[in-house]
Structure 1
Amino acid sequence: MSILTSGRYRAWAGFALAALLLYVVAPAVLSDFRLSLLGKFLCFAIVAVGIGLAWGRGGMLTLGQGVFFGLGAYMMAMHLKIADAELRGDTVPDFMQIAGIRELPGYWVPFTSPIVTILGILLIPALVAFVLGLGVFKRRVKGAYFAILSQALAAAFAILLVGQQSTGGSNGLNRFRTFFGFNLNDPANKQMLFFIAAGVLLAVVAITRQLMNSRYGELLVAVRDQEERVRFLGYDPANIKLVAYVTAAFFAGLAGALFVPIVGIISPADVGIVPSIAFLIGVAIGGRSTLLGPVLGAIGVAWAQSAFSESFPSGWTYAQGLLFIVVVGFFPAGVAGLFALLKRKKKASSDEPAPPGPEDETEPTERMEMAR
């Protein structure tokens, strides 16, 4: 096999092309507003990569990724609000002063430290997923029951946030001025945030590719298809599922933390049932069992929502639902699966034997006699 056609070098070429598009082409052709909008879409793509691993490869219909997305987002937002209050010389953020809160709540205090905030974003969503997954998978909860449970978790988390005045209630947290000392109103710093999101997305895709192509990736697919057979071979399917579920939660927490300074707001509406299902729709449309399908699907659906909602604000929800029904009903492997199917058909047609020529019109037995 030549170097240019080997899978390894094709993957490196793909990463190089993606880096070129994100770091050179996008900043050159997009305005500051559109670049920030693309950064928002990249955050959704990071979540989608984790869903593709857990759902596409592991068969776990994760309808509650908004929880882990929200955990990362709110931890980042809390730190940014505290930092803004310190710049003004206040002890509590501005919305707390309006609500009559004069002291910083106890669970806000750790997020005064940037290091603790970063560690919390990296660890807490994964730890929550580990505890939940351990309890669910060890009891062999799967299929529709797991999907309903994860969706109920997202709904409960959103309701909890709405009732908390110390996290902004239904309005959430917004109006951030700085990001670890950098002014968020500076276009150069906004571009820096886009570059960070692009780098995280590339790293997440690389990690997921390594998992998919490893021995673990084979076991994850085997658990999805024949869980009892994997258990009979001596492996614990619960542990295999748990790794994928925790990894997906870790990716979602990172995406939420990046979403806050890029978009400038986080509220319960961004972490409940509706956004969790929206994450899933992008993955399903792109192709849940592929590596790049979830990324392209999430970015494409988010772009379509932004573009069509500007012209048809009330019609996008119906169009999104119709698109999801069409894909699930007629193209269950998504757009990426459709392209793969067309590629296999083209290859099969090219491999068909040519029709017999005039010299091949003799019967096989006659040719054997002639050979003798």
Structure 2
Amino acid sequence: MKQFVSTRWQVYAGFAIAAVLLFAVAPAVLSDFRLNLLGKFLCFGIVAVGIGLAWGRGGMLVLGQGVFFGLGAYIMAMHLKISDAELRGDTVPDFMQIAGIADLPGYWQPFTSPVVTILGIIFIPTGVAVVLGLGIFKRRVKGAYFAILSQALAAAFAILLVGQQTTGGSNGLNRFRSFFGLALNDPANKRLLFFIAAAALLIVVAVTRQLMYSRYGELLVAVRDQEERVRFLGYDPANIKLVAYTVAALFASIAGALFVPVVGIISPADVGIVPSIAFLIGVAIGGRTTLLGPVLGAIGVAWAQTNLSESFPSGWVYAQGLLFIVVVGFFPAGLAGLGALARWRRKRAEPDPPDPEPDKAEATPVGASS
């Protein structure tokens, strides 16, 4: 009981330190540009938390999170473009006017409402995940087949968006001016967006921790390690996987919705195969089986990509792929597992304690004189 209380207070302290770093230290030491860049990285961290749950705990190699990221992002982008058009007194967004589209498409109409937009960000990607998950897991598709299928979905989604003139085609949607009534060119509102992204990340991490250390989390790990035994005990592994897959989809959708006002653009290049693999690389490097490893790995990889791609624009993609292969092949636990490995080796190198000396009375043979 004492250990449980101690662990609980350590968790509280960890969240408190993270809150101080995000809400006090980062705004104080970073410029507006760097703070906005960190907000973009936090969105990637939200996606990574869901991947850590589905892949690290559930063993599902989700290579298609760009689909759910893109759904949330495009839903938010459509609402923002409609709002900007209303502020100008127009009936359709600016890019539709240039393309000669006079009427707002029917599937854009519901997202004129902020409430419907928020509900769409939550329920549309999760609904898609439920439908896909039922079709995949009930048929017991797993392993490499699941990974290839999820990656094919991301590729198909990006190709579909490129061919849609009403979603901006290959250019995507950009040049947003407002966010639920707030002017995006105001530095104070940009800072508010960072705080929203930071709060969302902390909430997502807290929810994921609760799932990991609950009875469901134990079942998810059991399904990953011994699926047939779990089925023999009377549980349906498909339903257990479906929950993790849907939660990961919801987190990706929320991240995409926050990514749009923070970065100011969403295009098919942000939702295809390459972004989906980039999400996965960050999780693998950080440590997919841990709680904070995926977040730190995703933020670190995004930071490296932003800084190193300026110096090595053509070589970064190859370096990223090589890094993923090295980590998965030689450090499957990621950077978070290096600390545990070092502690294990240090403990193994310690000399064994000497055997206790036998008691003198026990060493005296029976019947011997004292």
- TM category, shorter: over 0.9
What does 1:45-194 align with in structure 2 at a 5 Å threshold?
45-194=45-194
Q: Which residue of 1 aligns with 2:363?
A: 369
What does 1:298-317 align with in structure 2 at a 5 Å threshold?
298-317=298-317
Distance between the aligned counterparts of 1:370 and 1:263, measured in 2?
82
The offset of 1:354, in angstroms, is: 3.1
Q: Which residue of 1 aligns with 2:353?
A: 354
Taking a change above 3 Å as real, the CA distance of residues 246 and 371 of structure 1, as seen in their structure-2 partners, is farther
1:48-75 Cα deviation digits (max 9, x unpaired)? 0000000000000000000000000000
Q: Which residue of 1 aligns with 2:325?
A: 325
1:58-116 Cα deviation digits (max 9, x unpaired)? 00000000000000000000000000000011000000000000000000000000000
The offset of 1:320, in angstroms, is: 1.1
RMSD: 1.8
What does 1:13-52 align with in structure 2 at a 5 Å threshold?
13-52=13-52
Distance between the aligned counterparts of 1:80 and 1:259, measured in 2?
13
Distance between the aligned counterparts of 2:44 and 2:324, measured in 1?
17
Distance between the aligned counterparts of 1:370 and 1:307, measured in 2?
75
Q: Which residue of 2 aligns with 1:7?
A: 7
Distance between the aligned counterparts of 1:182 and 1:370, measured in 2?
89
Are the equivalent residues in 2 in contact too, given 1:76–1:260 (CA < 8 A)?
A: yes
1:267-305 Cα deviation digits (max 9, x unpaired)? 000000000000000000000011001000000000000
Distance between the aligned counterparts of 1:370 and 1:260, measured in 2?
82
Are the equivalent residues in 2 in contact too, given 1:4–1:10 (CA < 8 A)?
A: no
Taking a change above 3 Å as real, the CA distance of residues 367 and 25 of structure 1, as seen in their structure-2 partners, is farther
Aligned residue type for 2:363: E
SS at match of 2:291: coil
Task: Compute the TM-score of the two structures, normalised by the length of structure 2.
Answer: 0.95
Is 1:199 equivalent to 2:170 in the alignment? Answer: no
Aligned residue type for 1:303: W
SS at match of 1:6: helix
1:220-258 Cα deviation digits (max 9, x unpaired)? 000000000000000000000000000000000000000
Aligned residue type for 2:96: M
Distance between the aligned counterparts of 1:15 and 1:367, measured in 2?
56
Are the equivalent residues in 2 in contact too, given 1:3–1:9 (CA < 8 A)?
A: no
Task: Compute the TM-score of the two structures, normalised by the length of structure 1.
Answer: 0.95
Q: Which residue of 2 aligns with 1:341?
A: 341
Aligned residue type for 1:296: L
Distance between the aligned counterparts of 1:348 and 1:210, measured in 2?
33
The offset of 1:10, in angstroms, is: 0.6
Aligned residue type for 1:263: V
Distance between the aligned counterparts of 1:46 and 1:20, measured in 2?
18
The offset of 1:365, in angstroms, is: 10
Aligned residue type for 1:69: F
Distance between the aligned counterparts of 1:2 and 1:315, measured in 2?
52
For structure 1, list consecutive stretches of 5 or more residues without a partner in the other structure.
none
